Copies of this chain bind each other. A is one copy, B any other.
């Protein structure tokens, strides 16, 4: 085949895969937001059929030969086509190196394992989940062998979510961070913290939604290219750059959860809404990695949405939405209240300071699993020990301990570190941005134009055409450097109680 012909074929294969991905995302969105209770069976058959097409297209002789041919000519390709080749090759290798039968057995296992986790979590019974978890881990160990990236076995898993990330980098990051966090938590707890308590009050859903939409738009979410809906757990789904959907969950006894989760998801969404339109519907037309994605959501949620200047601008508007509940609450009180720090058991409910400690617990345990240093049946006890060590508390119930996260049941090992990495990246990006933009002043004016423009230009638009390291280097002038995050946290929480 000529190079031109191969590029054409590449484009065709990419669009076909993207069409399937579009369908799968929409089905998943629908399942979590609207689909009727008893609709599971038809959906399962549909998803299975679509994933067969996906597998057959990705692991086809056609794909193999197109990728081989174009890899040899990569210098001659446009940036876009070169990126497509690189990303498709990665995806191809992930699957091609695993025997087809094992892969399909694993998919079946994940379905079972997820249900088993759900039941185990509801019944607080780790033993019923353990046999599935064992099999999931076993597969992942084999998977590491098939795809060995070199070095620590866990590197192979890390690499799936954050290209080129290694145990060495994460170890260094967490070692530095841990010391600072533990002393920071101690310092903060000596201070008179403020806990916002709205017991007995009601925050109407419709008003929360109205304010959420107002803030989304102000932050730069293009409302005619996206949707805000409701679901049990908030998430972002991407159909195309012009159709990015987020959800939140409204609690009528407190508005904070929905508000901050909306701001978080808006960070993810604005990333996707600003991918270069030239990519079309493509495997490269999405955020480059979990860590870089999370950096955007954390930047919006924490660095902006839990900052003082942000609320200097928007607090009056919020008060106007909930006058009865907030008229007696001063801005300073509100600010401290949404930054309340407390060692707690559940990761997803943790504050900005203790959150990374939850991630470290998981990271330590996952590393041990893939170093063959812990058995599945020992995990509940190990979890308790690590929580004692990192947070000074531990859960009586496994449902609030080792069973709290869905990730392992879905085989997502190596994923957790990207949450902490995201926060650290966000500080590094904010620091870089501050060289040309007075971020605090912009927040105080509620003006996100220049901020979002900087993010678009330096991060968003590239999608997967750059690796995380390339993004960091080009946007901030250096590779990942945790010092900005450590400084950010220290300054923020020291200033708060000055």
Chain A residues engaging chain B, CB cutoff 8 angstroms: 15-16, 18-20, 22-23, 26-27, 30, 34-43, 45-50, 52-53, 222-227, 229, 239-243, 280-281
**Would A19 and B36 count as touching, CB distance under 8 A?**
no
Indicate if the CB atoms of A239 and B16 lie closer than 8 Å: no
With A27-B26, A224-B37 already in contact, the answer to whether A19 and B49 are too (CB < 8 A) is: yes
Nearest to A222 among chain B residues (CB) is B38
Q: Are the C-beta atoms of A16 and B240 separated by less than 8 Å?
A: no
**Minimum C-beta distance from A184 to chain B (A):** 42
* A16 and B242 contacting across the interface, CB-CB below 8 Å: no
* Interchain CB contact under 8 A, A18 and B242: no
- Since A37-B225, A39-B242 are in contact, a sample of 20 more A-B pairs with Cβ atoms closer than 8 Å, ordered by chain A residue number, is A16-B49, A16-B52, A18-B46, A19-B47, A19-B50, A22-B27, A22-B43, A22-B45, A22-B49, A26-B26, A36-B224, A36-B227, A36-B242, A38-B243, A42-B239, A42-B281, A43-B239, A43-B240, A46-B239, A46-B281
19 residue pairs A–B, Cβ–Cβ below 8 Å: A15-B49, A19-B45, A19-B48, A20-B53, A22-B42, A23-B23, A23-B26, A23-B50, A26-B27, A38-B222, A39-B225, A39-B243, A41-B242, A42-B239, A42-B241, A45-B240, A46-B239, A46-B240, A53-B53
Tell me which residues across on chain B come within 8 A of A222, comparing CB atoms: 38
Instruction: Give CA–CA (A329, B43) in the complex, Å.
Output: 46
Kindly list chain B residues whose C-beta atoms are within 8 Å of the C-beta of A40.
242
CB closest chain-B residue, reference A239: B42
Q: Specify how many copies of this chain sit in the oligomer.
A: 2
Q: How far is the CB of A209 from chain B (nearest CB, A)?
A: 15
User: Which residues of chain B are near A41, meaning CB under 8 Å?
Assistant: 240, 242, 281
Instruction: With CB as the reference atom, state the residue of chain B lying closest to A57.
Output: B53
- Report yes or no: A49 in contact with B224, Cβ–Cβ below 8 A: no
Chain B contacts for A225, CB-based, 8 A? 36-39
A305 CB, min distance to chain B CBs, angstroms: 23
A40 vs B229: C-alpha distance in the bound complex, in angstroms?
20
A43 proximity list for chain B (CB < 8 A): 22, 239-240, 243
The distance in angstroms between the C-alpha atoms of A240 and B239, with both chains bound, is: 23
Q: Chain B residues with Cβ under 8 A from A16's Cβ? A: 49, 52-53
